[in-house]
Amino acid sequence: MRHEYCLHCDAETVERHTESGRVRCRCTTCGQTADRSLIVDTALRMWHETAGVFVRDPSGRFLFFNRIAFPYALTIPAGHVEHGESPQVSAARELQEETGLRAVSLSPIATEPIDGDQCRRGADGHVWHTFLTTVGTEPPVALDEGEGDAYKWLTLAEAVEHDLTFAARHLIDHHADRLMR
């Protein structure tokens, strides 16, 4: 299935025509003409960019919470990298938005594509920018009610015994040693 949207008004009323030997897109709703449109084609795999943070306490436990929006499982604080934002800024923003915690420092762990990491916005995979931050004591966590509930501090060995999001499990499986340094 394919949908085509106007870049000016978001209407799904784009018609293609040839103008001076070039294919152009004209919106019949707003009347604007552009060189391109936004095409959503379910036959194509969609990828997003995500930044996430593993929060480690002095005893080697990590902060996880239960997602209440798809994908439903335990996860780490994470979210999409917004336009114009660096992955590190996105990671710090998502950490604060989702948990109320502020990172003193973020250490890069990995940047990698994770195929099969689906999200509620339709992506089939994400390029993950993963960071680690440490806390001195178990800080008060204030979960965003729209993101998740039931936070818990778990060792990585304990975490893999739970239902984890695809990406959280992948990141632990491939980077546990770096997360424990």
Q: What is the DSSP letter of 104?
A: S
123 C-beta neighbours (distance < 10 Å), count: 16
Euclidean distance between CA atoms 121 and 79, whole angstroms:
11
| Confidence category of residue 43, pLDDT binned at 50, 70, 90 | confident
pLDDT tens digit sequence for 94-130? 999 999 999 989 999 999 999 999 998 888 999 999 9
Query: Domains in the chain, please, with CATH?
Result: 2-41 (no CATH), 47-179 (3.90.79.10)
Global pTM reads: 0.84
Residue in the block written with tokens 């778990």: 154
- Residue that has been written with the tokens 């340094």 in this structure: 181
pLDDT tens for 64-76 read: 999 999 999 999 9
Distance CA 19, CA 155 (A): 61
